[in-house]
Chains A and B, each alone.
Chain A
Amino acid sequence: DAGVTQSPTHLIKTRGQHVTLRCSPISGHKSVSWYQQVLGQGPQFIFQYYEKEERGRGNFPDRFSARQFPNYSSELNVNALLLGDSALYLCASRRTPTVLAFFGQGTRLTVV
């Protein structure tokens, strides 16, 4: 079975641009969460989706949005990028929201 896959692995964007990050969960997993990891810190919770509905939102501005598709894959969108959005964005896959969480390799976003 494939693990959690995220794309792209790296990207560079300019301030003010928009970015879309993608995540495919492990087969059979219906819950996807997004985390932001700034260099030198632990991951911070952004969103959780389960069965295509938002089930939790962290303390992030409205520039951050996400959705989950019928096949349980997910997109994270960030508008009006700021330099401070530069981070590793991690996707976590779970069968249901409260059980073991498995992470992808992340997308490294650099905003210049």
Chain B
Amino acid sequence: GEDVEQSLFLSVREGDSSVINCTYTDSSSTYLYWYKQEPGAGLQLLTYIFSNMDMKQDQRLTVLLNKKDKHLSLRIADTQTGDSAIYFCAESIGGTSYGKLTFGQGTILTVHP
């Protein structure tokens, strides 16, 4: 089955690191994504990881993937007030699902000055 779960809220102080967690259930995931959504806007692709990777680093962003536990995390280093937004993890399933994306419910990140 397909289900993606995230914690709903995260509050951090400016300059600290933020860690957003996500669990998924479908072991046939091909890509796992992190998207950012600001109020009233669409989804901005932040980063992604192939299902055969353990870690990916992209500037302030680090993605960790634990396939055994089906756990994905996004670490934002030196979090800024501009990082305040909703963050969605999503899995892309190949095969007969043809790349359909299944999203979590989103984590609201609030960054305090």
With A55-B98, A56-B97, A56-B100 given, is the CB distance from A43 to B45 under 8 Å?
Answer: no
Known contacts A56-B97, A98-B94, A100-B31, A42 near B42 by CB under 8 Å = no
**Contact between chains at A42 and B88 (CB < 8 Å):** yes
CA of A101 to CA of B44 in the docked complex: distance in angstroms?
10
Residue pair A101, B98 in contact (C-beta under 8 Å)? no
Partner-binding segment picked from B58-66, B67-75, B102-110 = B102-110
Q: Which residues of B contact A58 (CB under 8 A)?
A: 100
Q: Are B100 and A90 in contact (CB under 8 A)?
A: no
- CB-CB under 8 A from A100, the residues of chain B are 31, 45, 48
In whole angstroms, what is the CA distance A90 to B101 when docked? 12
> Complex Cα distance A108/B42, Å?
10
Number of chain B residues whose Cβ lies closer than 8 Å to a Cβ of chain A: 26
- Asked whether any CB of chain A lies closer than 8 Å to the CB of B34, the reply is no
Tally of contact residues, A, Cβ under 8 A: 31
Q: How far is the CA of A33 from the CA of B99 in the complex (A)?
A: 10
Are A43 and B31 also in contact (CB < 8 A) when A98-B94, A101-B92, A105-B42 are?
no
Q: Is the CB of B101 within 8 A of A45?
A: yes
B contact residues vs A (CB 8 Å cutoff) = 4, 30-31, 33, 35, 40-45, 48, 88, 90, 92, 94, 97-106
Contacts of B98 in A (CB 8 A): 48, 50, 55-56, 97-98
- CB-based contact A104/B42 at 8 Å: yes
A-B pairs with lowest CB-CB distance, top 5: A42-B103, A97-B99, A103-B43, A105-B42, A98-B99
**Alpha-carbon distance A108/B99, docked complex (angstroms):** 25
When distances are taken between beta carbons in the complex, the residues of chain B under 8 Å from A105 are: 41-42
Alpha-carbon distance between A96 and B98 when the two chains are bound, in angstroms:
10
